[in-house]
Structure 1
Amino acid sequence: MDLSPIAEEYLKAISTLETEHARPIRTVEIADEVGVTSASVSSMIDTLDERGLLEYTPYKGVELTDDGEEIVTTLVRKHRLLETFLTEQLEYRLTDVHEEVDRLEHHISDEFAQRLATFLDDPTIDSHGDPIPDTALTVSEESTYTPLTEYEVGETVVVAQVPGRDVAIREHLFENGIDPGTTLTIDDVLPVDLITVVPDSVAAPVSLPTHVARRIGARVPDQ
């Protein structure tokens, strides 16, 4: 199905919001996510509804159809393959790669994505530790990693997955030496929704809000 990059961005935004809220998504929420006016969202909703990519229920909101979800999953596959290629082959920094790929993902074909996957040896996770949908567009719904918040003070873990979408969070983590592959020790859990960790590459305590630490996947070393 031939869609404009803007239409694909709307579908991605709706999918992200559906994952976060587990309910139909309101127009104003889409407008905030995409950064446009509610009037622009209403026009796009009509277009995507007519093409069978979402269903709109008055006074409730919109939900993606199976066809809409398939387009989003295809974009996710392309995005994560491109991120892996740029970081592994072209040495892009993790802090820079997401925005670069956001521009590229709309302009490569399914054939190109498959050739890229073959070139990369069919990776199953991307540079942030997120799963890459396979050729059948299936992806594990369950993370194989444990949230950082589940570990106890004194435990040493290896970071395996970091948030990929939020620029500010990515910058904060990477500036403090926390990225996939980092070994760190849980130093303290404070009653003000903060977790203190000590990355081996920095050897100085780093404080993380609990809501951020919860989105960092980790594993026990050599597990």
Structure 2
Amino acid sequence: MDLSPIAEDYLKAIYHLEDGHQRPVRTAEISEELGVTSPSVSSMIDTLDERGVVDYTPYRGVELTDRGEEVVLRLVRNHRLLETFMMECLDYSWSEVHDDADRLEHHVSDELARRLEAFLGEPSMDPHGDPIPDAELSMPEESPYTPLTEYEVGETVVVDQVPHRDPDIREYLSRHGIGPGTRLTVDEISPIDLVTVVPTSDGQPVSLPTYVARRLGARAAPRNENGF
């Protein structure tokens, strides 16, 4: 389907907002997500509705159609394969790959995606721990990781999945040495929506808002890791 990169970005925003809210998306939410004016959103939604990739009902909201979801899953596949390639072959860090992949994802053909996938050994997860849709655009429905907020004080975990779409969260985690593969211990769970963890790399406590900790996927650290 011939859509502009801007139109595809709208579809991606709707996809992520739908996933987060589990309901039709309000146009005001799209405006805030993309940093564009309400009239711009209304105009684009009308266009996307005419193209059959969204279903817009006034006073109810916007939803992706099956065709729209297919467009987004192809972009997600391209994006996550690009991130994996950039980390494994171009020496990017996990916190650097998102923005460049965002720009390039619109220009990857199905054939290039297939070749990237084969070259990388058919990875199932990207560098942030997010699943990569396969060539048929199927995606696992549930994350294989447990949210950090599910662990108790004193438990030690290994981070496998990190939130990375928000640049402020990405920068904060990276600055404090928290990323995929980081081993950390839950030090305190505060009643004021803070989770304090201690990365074993430097032993310095890091406080995370609960909404961020909830999006960190982790697994219990094996006792034989790092000599424990």
TM-score, structure 2 as length reference: 0.95
Deviation at 1:222, TM superposition (A): 4.0
In 2, the alpha carbon distance for the partners of 1:193 and 1:58 equals 36
Aligned to 2:194: 194
Q: What is aligned with 2:18?
A: 18
Structure 2 CA distance, aligned partners of 1:145 and 1:215?
A: 10
Q: Per-residue displacement from partner, 1:89-123 (whole Å, max 9, x unpaired)?
A: 10112222111111000011111011000000000
1:82 aligns with 2:82: yes
Instruction: Determine the C-alpha separation between the residues in 2 that align with 1:158 and 1:14.
Output: 31
Q: Partner of 2:226 in structure 1?
A: none
1:67 Cα offset (Å): 0.3
Instruction: Determine helix, strand or coil for the equivalent of 1:187.
Output: strand
Q: How many angstroms apart in 1 are the aligned matches of 2:96 and 2:10? A: 22
Asked if the contact 1:157–1:220 (Cα under 8 Å) also holds between the matched residues in 2, the reply is yes
2:160 counterpart SS class: strand
> What residue number does 1:70 align with?
70
Higher deviation after alignment, 26-35 or 97-106: 26-35
| SS of 1:128 mapped into structure 2 | coil
Letter in 2 for 1:173: L
Secondary structure of the residue that 1:202 maps to in structure 2?
coil
Looking at structure 1, the residues matched to 189 and 62 of structure 2 have their Cα atoms a distance apart, in angstroms, of 39
Q: Is residue 163 from structure 1 mapped to residue 163 from structure 2 by the alignment?
A: yes
Q: Which residue of 2 aligns with 1:178?
A: 178
> What secondary structure, in the 3-state scheme, does the structure 2 residue paired with 1:152 have?
coil
Count of residues in correspondence between the two structures: 223
Looking at structure 1, the residues matched to 95 and 60 of structure 2 have their Cα atoms a distance apart, in angstroms, of 37
Partner of 2:219: 219
> Runs (4+) of structure 1 moved beyond 4 Å?
none
In the alignment, is the contact (CA less than 8 A) between 1:176 and 1:202 conserved in 2?
A: no
Letter in 2 for 1:125: M
Deviation at 1:194, TM superposition (A): 1.1
Give the superposition deviation at 1:191.
1.7
Query: Are 1:146 and 2:150 matched, yes or no?
Result: no
1:100 matched residue in structure 2: 100
What is the distance in 2 between the residues matched to 1:26 and 1:68? 17
SS of residue paired to 1:94:
coil
Distance in 2 (alpha carbons) for counterparts of 1:26 and 1:195: 31
Partner SS, residue 70 of structure 2: helix
CA deviations on 1:133-176 (whole Å, 9 max, x unpaired) are 11111111111111111111111110000002011111111111
Matches of 1:23 and 1:61, distance apart in 2:
8
Q: Report the secondary structure of 2:141's partner residue.
A: coil
Distance 1:27 1:174 in 2: 32
**Residue 54 (structure 1) aligns with:** 54
Say which SS state the counterpart of residue 95 (structure 2) adopts: helix
Q: Counterpart in 2 of 1:31?
A: 31
The alpha-carbon deviation at position 221 of structure 1 amounts to 2.4
Q: Distance in 1 between matches of 2:188 and 2:170?
A: 22
Partner of 2:6: 6
Paired-residue identity, %: 67
